[in-house]
Structure formats: structure tokens, C-alpha cells
Structure 1
Amino acid sequence: MLPKLPLDEMSVEEKLQTIEVLWDSLSHDPDVIESPQWHGEILAQREQAIERGEDEFEDWETAKKQLRDELL
């Protein structure tokens, strides 16, 4: 059963706060959520690309800054 939320009455900020509460709740028990098979496949492909020297890791702070610069 889906909970009934007053989405039409909620502000964007309230909706985002609701998403954060839900995500926080879900993240406390990650074993309950099974990752789809394609997640593992993509990770394996990316790992192989790194090993072949075709790709590289970016630290999270640098990646966030690049995304912000591109989007803003």
C-alpha cells in the first residue's frame, strides 16, 4: 500500500526534505535493497577501463565542483 502524501500541497523544499528522510531511512539497512544486476556489470566495465588506462578516478569533491561548474 502506498502512503498518501499531500504532494499537491507540499512545497518543493518539503518534497526534498521528504526524499531525504526516506533515503536516510533506507540507507540504515542497505542489505534490504538489492542492487540490480546491471549495476554490477557497469562497475565491472568501469573497473576494466581503469585497468586498461582508458579511464581514471576523480575524487568526490573535485567531481562535485566540476558538476556544479557545468550545471550552474
Structure 2
Amino acid sequence: MSIQAINVRNQFRGKIHSITEDDVLSALDIETPSGIVSSVITTRSVRDLGLVVGSEVVALVKATEVSLAKL
């Protein structure tokens, strides 16, 4: 499947800046031209995709809700 075939409009190209692995979940920071995008995915997915620091990726963001709180 190509990226064009995915119905996600918010796409951020970047490189993996850091990976923090746990037994089940991993936190990834992706450095993009606009700043850092953070993601939590399964550690199994990190391994299956062969993701390492420096890997070029596309962060696909699709959300049905964004909540805000006044500070």
C-alpha cells in the first residue's frame, strides 16, 4: 500500500529521533521540519517495521477529537 492510498491528510515526514522501548509499548519521537511529533506504538510494531533511531518515516495523524483546557 502506498502512502497516497491512505485516507489521512495530516502527514509529517521526518526521522526517528528517539525510541523508548518497554515490554509492550514504545514511545517514539520523530523530528520533522515543524518540530517533534511523538507516537506510542507497540514494541512488536517497532521490531516488525525495523524502526531504529535515524529511520525515515511518515507520521500519519488522524483524530476525531482534539480536547483543549485553558491554563
TM-score (norm 1): 0.22
Larger Rg: 1
Which has the larger share of strand?
2
Greater RCO (CA < 8 Å, at least 6 residues apart): 2
Which has the larger share of helix?
1
